[in-house]
Structure 1
Amino acid sequence: MTYTTDRPDPNIQVAPAPAGPVVEYHDTVRWGPIIAGIVVAIVSQLMLSALGAAVGGYAAGEAAPRAIGTGIGIWAVISLLISLFLGAWAMAASCGPMNKKTAMLNATIMWATTLVVSGWLLASGVSGAFGVIASSAGGALTQVAEPGGVSLPNPDQLTQAAPTPQEAAQYAASAATASVSFIIGSLLGLVAALIGSTVGAKRPRTIVR
């Protein structure tokens, strides 16, 4: 009769199994950090816009209106780039470890969602404190321009106010310029978001067992 035992033979040396790296996997799209980045981007945009409006208001009496308009346009682009950079950086910094490709993917989704939210706010007529200030200022200017108060427009004046073909062509050219500016500004904002995400991204951790 033969017996077997589970005890290893002390004379036999077993080579240890090779220790391979164990990589932690997570979901590719992380909506929590993306929403946080959107909030940071919108708040940064509001703060920078308020700063630009304050500087433009103080310089209104000293600079030419055309120069002020150009400065406001340039500052709007700069503030957009800064806000998207900060939002993407906050998004990547609040995430767990991930590679640059995943960070750039989340930054692209954050950028697209920010555009959707901004477009919805503009379409809904929600402009925040700036809209309230602009409405109040417009009402005050109307009261000053018309000593007798607000008066209803004359129908003949409304008929005469119809745009001429030259004015319609000018409006179309202005709309085309605005569309091109929007596309260029959006693409520059995407680049700023991608850079911010790569700066704030953390390297994936590798656990060796």
Structure 2
Amino acid sequence: MSYVERPGGNYVGEPAVVAPVVDYHDRVRWGPIISGLVVALATQLILSALGAAIGSTFLAGSGAPRSNAPGVGTGVGIWSVISLLIALFVGSWVAARACGPMNRNTALLNGAILWATTLALSSWLLASGVSGAFGVAASNAGEVINQVQQGGVNVPNPQPRVSAAQAREIADNAARALWSFVIGSLLGLAASLAGASTGAQSPREHRVR
């Protein structure tokens, strides 16, 4: 508050002007996003290893490991989803804190980009692993076929027969997997946004007198 002296000895107060300081003009900060991505992957790895270790320890000390294996597998799967949500929350929080002062909308934007980057990287790693496995299998199959053809042996080409019940079961399993992926991805987005919103720092303000 500033005061101005006017004739007659009266002092009139004028409100101070508050001007926010904009620290960054670029709303997308790839450095903090990559840092948050690394933290998220490391957190996911540690938590997943912890869940697998607990499940393996339980089976090792169990009197009926074969009977308890399905339940332990289900528990490990649920823990994997929970650990993914925790990892995305922590990674987005780290990214928001590393960005410095920003408003909430910018923090949410960076959190969403971190989630999308994590999803794209995970899909690429999964696709690379699957294609690599198929590549090795195709290479081995090609060598076997060449050897058989050189030996003068005909390679049978049986036609797979799938019943209607088996086709419905395959479609049902595929639908469950796809819906689980969609729901898990949306939950991961929510966790990333929550972490970014929690870690966001308000821009500093200075008063001009």
TM (norm. structure 2) is: 0.71
Residues 1:110 and 2:93 aligned together: no
Inter-partner Cα distance in structure 2 for 1:162 and 1:92: 54
Give CA deviations for 1:34-81 in whole Å, capped at 9, x if unaligned.
111111111111111111111222223276232122212211110111
Q: Percent identity?
A: 51
Q: CA RMSD in A?
A: 2.6
The residue aligned with 1:174 is: 173
- Measured after TM superposition, the shift of residue 167 of structure 1 is 2.2
The answer on 1:23 being equivalent to 2:20 is yes
Query: 1:72 and 1:160, CA in 2 relative to 1: closer, same or farther beyond 3 A?
Result: farther
Cα distance in 2 for partners of 1:200, 1:122 equals 30
Whole-Å Cα distance in 1 between the matches of residues 78 and 190 of structure 2?
Answer: 17
Structure 1 unmatched runs, 5+: 1-10, 132-154
1:117-166 deviation per Cα after TM superposition (whole angstroms, max 9, x unaligned): 1000100118xxxx9xxxxxxxxxxxxxxxxxxxxxxx88x959754432
Report the AA paired with residue 35 of structure 1: I
Q: Which runs of 5+ in 2 are unaligned?
A: 1-6, 60-64, 134-154
Q: Which residue of 1 aligns with 2:36?
A: 37
Partner of 1:91 in structure 2? Answer: 95
Q: 2:127 aligns with which of 123, 128, 140?
A: 123
Would the alpha carbon gap of residues 101 and 47 (structure 1) be closer, same or farther in structure 2, given more than 3 Å must change?
A: same
- Higher fraction of strand: 2
- What does 1:73-92 correspond to in 2, within 5 Å? 73-92=77-96
* Structure 1 stretch displaced more, 21-30 or 47-56: 21-30
- Matched residue type, 2:21: E
Q: Which residue of 2 aligns with 1:53?
A: 52
Counterpart of 2:70, as a letter, is R
Q: What does residue 199 of structure 2 align with? A: 200
Residue equivalent to 1:3: none
How many residues are paired up? 168
Query: 1:59 aligns to what SS in structure 2?
Result: helix
Matches within 5 A, 1:5-24: 19-24=16-21
Give the TM-score taking structure 1 as reference length: 0.71
- Tell me, yes or no, if structure 1 residue 71 matches structure 2 residue 75: yes
Equivalent position SS for 2:19: strand
